[in-house]
Amino acid sequence: MCGIIGYIGIDHVEKYLIEGLKKMEYRGYDSAGICVKDDYLDVVKKSGGIANLEKALLDRKFSGNTGIGHTRWATHGAPNDLNAHPHLSFQSDIAVVHNGIIENYATLKRFLLEKGVRFSSQTDSEVLAHLIESFYTGNLEEAVSKALQNVDGTYGLAVLHRHENKIIAARKGSPLILGIGDSMMMVASDAVPLLDHTNKVIYLEDNDLAVLTRNQYDIMKINGRKVRREIEEIQWNISQIEKRGFKHFMLKEIYEQPEAMRNTLRGRIKGDTIKLSVNFDAEKLNRIVITACGTSWHSALIGKYFMEEILQLPVEVDYASEFRYRTTALAKDDLFIVISQSGETADTLAALRKAKSLGCQTLGIVNVVGSSIARETESGIYLHAGPEIGVASTKAFLCQITSLMLLALAIQQAKGKTISSRMINELEILPEKIQEIIANEKQLRVLAYRLQNATNFLYLGRGVNFPVALEGALKLKEISTIHAEGYPAAEMKHGPIALIDASMPVVFIAPEGKILTKILSNMEEVKARQGQILTITDSQNPKLQELSDHIFMVPKTLEIFTPFLTTVPLQILAYYIADMKGINVDKPRNLAKSVTVE
């Protein structure tokens, strides 16, 4: 949440700031602003998206070559001009952009008010500008260090002083990446805005503080102790994050799913053998615990079905936000898995740290190389899905369940059991079957046109496809603002059935399998109450055909693999319903891509 950009070099800075903010607008679009250092700190900020900021900059001329910018997802304070970043200190000598939450800001604000400081916003972030100024005696990094030692909470931070030609960056809990270029340095919340200018980056770690000048960087801990961080090279390029003719990033990323899944599988299947670079004692494994948030939590639920079916082991799935605050018993032989596309999800990271403190084995499933979770788990699986810009996750979800299947098979193998060659063969051809579904998207566009005016949806599935129902409902809620709920199909009669009438679409995920007859009974119950039924299936069952008002067929596969195929049409349906309603699906209301605050 929130995007930070900073540049110091030899060129005029505003183009770097605006271009960088545009590439990070998926991190927040409540407001945006920049500060350019010249003889004074020149701040321009506007509520709304980057386009509003660009309009405000049309008649402005900047000559400075140092600056910082911010695109905001609002936490403290309404999304208006005053609460937009950057924030200036009381004497207007210091400018700050911040991602995170200052938990003791009320205490710090009272302290500063007593010193005569006046505040101009409702944000917790403004406290940082004033606090740093209160410690300033001629050395900006020293002032930032002293200020942050008094701060409780999380931050990704970039700071300017009008009398010093440097940028100070600091992180705790919110990601920050340094970009190392020729006669210039940059800092950003993620790698996307850096790629136009350099592929050499440094991932700051918690409690790091970096001092950036045009030709140099120094990194130290908040207490002043110098540290060394490795320069890494980003392997993907700017063309991978462009829309390439698609109307929205979400649609582009849906279309990229077959290749994304191939990338997750690539090099990890050798004949009938699974090759994963993971480090835990599989033979002693007695229990698996998985935590995640949002879409990643749904992938964890599918992973639970995979692992219990294949391994006959107990698997628990927990919301990371709940796990971190519960008294939990974990044993050293438990495997604790955390799942996060960004690798920076605040609750998931906190859950990981709690599990590590309890001494159990940890494993991360993430997409972003160098992210906090990737660095802090003992081993892990990278998705290799490529950059995902769309706020509503699609290809990362598919690659997460691919990784969980690979992990289940790898554990089975490590326990000395033979992996079914049929399962391996089917797993490898799933990308082709996903491509078939995408090729039939026209049918889903027609369904979206018919259903776009509905105000409520119910998604129902059973077994391994129950989490698919949850994920389908979430996708529709996220991007279309239509209310939707996912349930196990059998639970419908324990409450949700009261909502069903002729105006409510009910989506059944009903592939061929051992519980299809049970789902048919649930469909009868909906039909008796005039609900209109959309069925996602691979079955030619005549009763299913009779009960369904609309059917979308997916290719045949093994029952355990059906979520790979049933998920995709629900993504496409949600996309087209939202698009037909005139909604920008890449900027869903109130949401941002990476949830780095609690």
What does the pLDDT read at residue 594? Answer: 54
Residue 589 is classified by DSSP as T
What digits encode the pLDDT tens for the residues 488-547?
988 877 887 777 888 889 999 999 998 899 999 999 988 888 889 999 999 999 999 999
Which has the closest alpha carbon to 308: 181, 411, 445?
411
| Residue 170 and residue 294 share a domain | no
Confidence category of residue 95, pLDDT binned at 50, 70, 90: very high
Q: What is the CATH number of the domain that holds 354?
A: 3.40.50.10490
Domain boundary among 386, 414, 437: 437
Q: What is the C-alpha to C-alpha distance for residues 235 and 201, in angstroms, rounded to an integer?
A: 11
| Residue 208 and residue 268 share a domain | no
What is the separation of C-alpha 350 from the centre of its chain, rounded to a whole number of angstroms?
Answer: 16
What does the pLDDT read at residue 587? Answer: 78
| Residue 230 and residue 83 share a domain | yes
399 is catalytic: no
Confidence category of residue 411, pLDDT binned at 50, 70, 90: very high
What is the separation of C-alpha 595 from the centre of its chain, rounded to a whole number of angstroms?
Answer: 6
Mean pLDDT of 467-486: 95
Q: Which of 38-47, 398-407, 463-472 has the lowest mean pLDDT?
A: 38-47
Predicted structure pTM score: 0.76
Instruction: Assess if residue 598 is contained within a domain.
Output: no
The catalytically annotated residue of 2, 35, 293, 360 is 2
Q: What is the C-alpha to C-alpha distance for residues 168 and 68, in angstroms, rounded to an integer?
A: 10
Q: Which of 118-127, 320-329, 399-408 has the lowest mean pLDDT?
A: 320-329
What digits encode the pLDDT tens for the residues 250-303?
999 999 999 999 999 998 998 889 999 888 888 888 899 999 999 999 999 999
What does the pLDDT read at residue 541? Answer: 93
Instruction: Assess if residue 542 is contained within a domain.
Output: yes
Domain boundary among 437, 470, 500: 437
- Please provide the DSSP assignment of 212-253 as one string: EETTEEEEEETTS-B-----EE--S-GGGGS-TT-SSHHHHH
The catalytically annotated residue of 166, 395, 477, 593 is 593
What digits encode the pLDDT tens for the residues 27-71?
777 899 999 998 899 999 999 888 899 898 888 888 899 999 999
- Does pLDDT of 597 surpass 60? no
For residues 460 and 523, the answer to whether their CB atoms sit within 8 Å is no
Q: What is the CATH number of the domain that holds 189?
A: 3.60.20.10
What does the pLDDT read at residue 240? Answer: 65
Confidence category of residue 167, pLDDT binned at 50, 70, 90: very high
What does the pLDDT read at residue 593? Answer: 54
For residues 166 and 139, the answer to whether their CB atoms sit within 8 Å is no
| Residue 29 and residue 164 share a domain | yes
- Label residue 16 exposed, middle or buried (CB < 10 Å: 0-12, 13-18, 19+): buried
Mean pLDDT of 116-131: 92
Element (H, E) at 13: none
Instruction: Assess if residue 591 is contained within a domain.
Output: no
Instruction: Assess if residue 592 is contained within a domain.
Output: no
For residues 174 and 140, the answer to whether their CB atoms sit within 8 Å is no
Mean pLDDT of 369-379: 86
Average pLDDT, the chain: 91
What digits encode the pLDDT tens for the residues 567-590?
999 999 999 999 999 998 887 776
Confidence category of residue 560, pLDDT binned at 50, 70, 90: very high
Domain boundary among 234, 260, 280: 234
Mean pLDDT of 109-117: 92
Mean pLDDT of 149-157: 92
Instruction: Assess if residue 588 is contained within a domain.
Output: no
The range of the structural domain enclosing residue 414 comes to 242-437
What does the pLDDT read at residue 237? Answer: 64
CA pseudo-torsion sign 571, 574, 580, 582: negative
| Residue 428 and residue 446 share a domain | no
- Label residue 358 exposed, middle or buried (CB < 10 Å: 0-12, 13-18, 19+): middle
| Residue 444 and residue 432 share a domain | no
Domain count, the chain: 3
| Residue 370 and residue 330 share a domain | yes
Instruction: Assess if residue 596 is contained within a domain.
Output: no
293 is catalytic: no
| Residue 309 and residue 220 share a domain | no
| Residue 472 and residue 433 share a domain | no
- Does pLDDT of 477 surpass 70? yes
| Residue 410 and residue 462 share a domain | no
- Does pLDDT of 472 surpass 90? yes
What does the pLDDT read at residue 1? Answer: 66
Instruction: Assess if residue 597 is contained within a domain.
Output: no
What does the pLDDT read at residue 241? Answer: 66
| Residue 156 and residue 34 share a domain | yes
| Residue 256 and residue 202 share a domain | no
Instruction: Assess if residue 593 is contained within a domain.
Output: no
